[in-house]
Amino acid sequence: MTQIVATVDFAKEGKQVGWLRVPHSVTRSAYGIVPVPIAVLRNGPGPAILLTAGTHGDEYEGQVVLTRLIQQLQPEEMRGLLIVMPALNAPAAIAGSRVSPLDEGNLNRAFPGDPDGGPTWKIADYVGNHLVPMVDVVGDFHGGGASLAYRPHASTHFSPDSGTELRERSLAAVKALGIPHVMIFESRSAAGGMSAATRKHGKIYLNGEYGGTASVSRESVALVDQAVRRLLAFFGTRNDRFEPLPEPEVLSVFGTEAYVYASDPGVFVPAVRLGDTVRKGDLCGHLYFPETPERAAVEMVFEGSGDVVCQRHPARVERGDCLAHLARPVMSPAR
């Protein structure tokens, strides 16, 4: 049983902007709540879609685009149900951090959540067990965060047991978002992600990383803005028509050999750029040790072959920090 109280009525026609009240009792506020913003737009029968951003508080494009969508979209301009949450882990979004300052919770590792857990776990439980069952599609917009820089991409996630119909529909949808690069994540492990909580209900899950480095630009906001508009048109929420775009390149994120991790603490100087194609054994970059100047630099190499789609942003690294990851173009992703 959730302890979260919604100030919006999900069955009501029209547009409501309100809050999920997440109870959080602490010394400075015994009966306090954490308000999580939520908008509900409903206009008759039609597709039911949940759009979220701020799952990680240091990823901004989706937060901006969904805020504007709430202000601009009127229910008579759409059909069906649209639930919009621009700052899903609100405490993290306000702090501009990946995890919540209230409970150190990483919302995209907290699913299926816990109705009696910390605020992050309460939110995860509410999304997975109350909101996802109400909709056909979840679009969660990410942005790389403070530690990473991504080549912008839209993505969808499968597990090995995802049915053919769900795969094909998800792939068609993600390719329709107008982003030149599309990535497919296929994994058995749930890892606490919203994707697993969505797939569990047989619903379409769309995601994407549209930037990174804890920054935001007019270009990256425009990219997500058109992705959201195209998403709403693809599923029939709105009737917008778009110029056809070239078919996006579809890439698959393969196993652990796609990732390079720092072997030692130091200063990392990358040898490649986002979008470069590399082979197994190629140089990823050098680790330098200014605090031990006589120690030779360490070469970090790629353990697999593919395109560099993500790189670490801050130069200083700890052992185990992800320095880069690869993805591979696929020919026939839908199987």
CA nearest neighbour of 142 among 82, 234, 206:
206
CA distance 16 to 132: 19
Taking a C-beta distance cutoff of 8 angstroms, is the pair 218, 162 a contact?
A: no
Minimum CB–partner distance for residue 283 and Zn ion (Å): 28
CA distance 61 to 78: 23
Minimum CB–partner distance for residue 106 and Zn ion (Å): 9
Residue 56 found at the interface with Zn ion (CB under 5 A): yes
Which range of residues in 37-45, 50-58, 183-191, 321-329 is near Zn ion by CB under 5 A?
Answer: 50-58
CA nearest neighbour of 69 among 229, 254, 189:
229
48 vs 154 by CB, closer to Zn ion: 154
80 vs 145 by CB, closer to Zn ion: 145
Which range of residues in 54-62, 132-140, 179-187, 195-203 is near Zn ion by CB under 5 A?
Answer: 54-62
Residue 142 found at the interface with Zn ion (CB under 5 A): yes
Minimum CB–partner distance for residue 55 and Zn ion (Å): 6
106 vs 237 by CB, closer to Zn ion: 106
CA distance 175 to 198: 19
Helix (H) or strand (E) holding 310: strand 306-312
210 vs 302 by CB, closer to Zn ion: 210
Minimum CB–partner distance for residue 264 and Zn ion (Å): 26
Residue 96 φ/ψ region, left for φ over 0, alpha for ψ in the -120 to 50 degree band, beta for the rest: left
Which range of residues in 4-12, 57-65, 284-292, 327-335 is near Zn ion by CB under 5 A?
Answer: 57-65
57 vs 285 by CB, closer to Zn ion: 57
Q: How many CA atoms lie within 13 A of 83 on its CB side?
A: 28
Residue 153 found at the interface with Zn ion (CB under 5 A): no
Q: Which two tokens stand for residue 147?
A: 């530690």
Q: Is the dihedral of CA 185, 262, 53, 210 positive or negative?
A: negative
Minimum CB–partner distance for residue 312 and Zn ion (Å): 15
Which range of residues in 12-20, 27-35, 58-66, 260-268 is near Zn ion by CB under 5 A?
Answer: 58-66
59 vs 61 by CB, closer to Zn ion: 59
Minimum CB–partner distance for residue 141 and Zn ion (Å): 9
Residue carrying the six token digits 């605020």: 119
Residue 80 φ/ψ region, left for φ over 0, alpha for ψ in the -120 to 50 degree band, beta for the rest: left
Listed in sequence order, the DSSP H helices in 176-311 are 194-199, 218-235
Size of the site for Zn ion (CB under 5 A): 3
Query: Where does this chain bind Zn ion (CB under 5 A)?
Result: 56, 59, 142
